[in-house]
Amino acid sequence: MTKSKKGSVLIVDDSNGNIIALTDILKSEYTIYAAKNGQKAVELAEEFLPNVILLDIVMPEMDGYETIAMLKSSEKAKDIPVVFITSLNNFEDEEKGLELGAADYISKPFSPAIVKLRVGNQIKMFELLHSIEQLSLEDQLTGIPNRRSFDRQISREWKRAARDKTFLSILLMDIDKFKAYNDTYGHQQGDTALQSFAKIFDKTLKRPGDFGARWGGEEFIALLPDTDLKSALGIAEQIRKNTETAEILCADGLTTKVTVSIGVNTYTPGDSNTIDSLISGADAALYAAKNKGRNRVCYFNEP
């Protein structure tokens, strides 16, 4: 294997000769992994997540069609583009491969120039789609994850906490009297306040597993895995204090301040509760914090 410059390629072929030939063509630009059967190909794809898979169609035991079906059913490997390497040249075979999710075809005997171009094109496309995906998960104003990204994260953490029987805590935060702040200072300054708060609470979430996002408008949310209620309240109070003391610079050089109300809820996921009930409990606690005078932390106490 060589040091990766532009990505990595998994070559799947039962012929040593074909693996060696393709490796010689691509090794100067890519890290190369190789498998001689479909089962090993799926294992390597899930372990190393190559940028492209070059897959022979005609192989013993498990052919390329069966292999690509397994790859596309794998949660880890399903998005990796697969390029078929084949000596088959009828339209039915090509159509079948495309229906199963193949990104492209390279015919045997293969041309080194064609192999390089088609692999390069797939990697460029893969990187472009990855960039678009990342943008779709980011709040464009604050630069932190958005609600869609949070939904993905909590789904993963909920399953893990349910499996391990661990606590999962939610902080739902709302900047106090934000409409009045906008009316007083203007929407541009309101955007600055949202950006400032996003930085404050994101920096307060210091543990690697903690995950903060913009929930919408002036609402933000944080997910705290392996965190009981007492610890979650401590983190929430630190966010509240950091927000209260922070100064937000205005265009004229003056500074303003905002405060935040926070609702906290903690569950150990099980049959009697859901993600929705975890969030709705935090929302009820946030509502209580607002009703009690704002700039405070409240937690959900189930009746």
Task: Compute the distance between CA of residue 205 and CA of residue 235 in angstroms, rounded to an integer.
Answer: 8
Task: Kindly provide the b/e burial profile for residues 166-203, where b requires at least 16 CB atoms within 10 angstroms of the residue's own CB.
Answer: ebbbbbbbbbbbbeebbeebeeebbebbbbbbbebbbe
Cα three-residue angle 68-134-194, rounded to 5 degrees: 160
Whole-Å CA distances, 148 to 58, 64, 139, 215, 262: 41, 35, 9, 9, 21
Residue type (1 letter), 32: I
Would you state the structure tokens that stand for residue 35, as one six-digit string?
Answer: 């498998």
To the query of whether residue 92 is one of the catalytic residues in this protein, the response is no
Q: Which of these is catalytic: 47, 75, 99, 218?
A: 218
Rounded Cα–Cα distance for residues 147 and 238 (Å): 23
User: What is the rounded CA–CA span in Å between residue 245 and residue 209?
Assistant: 26
Positions annotated as catalytic residues are 218
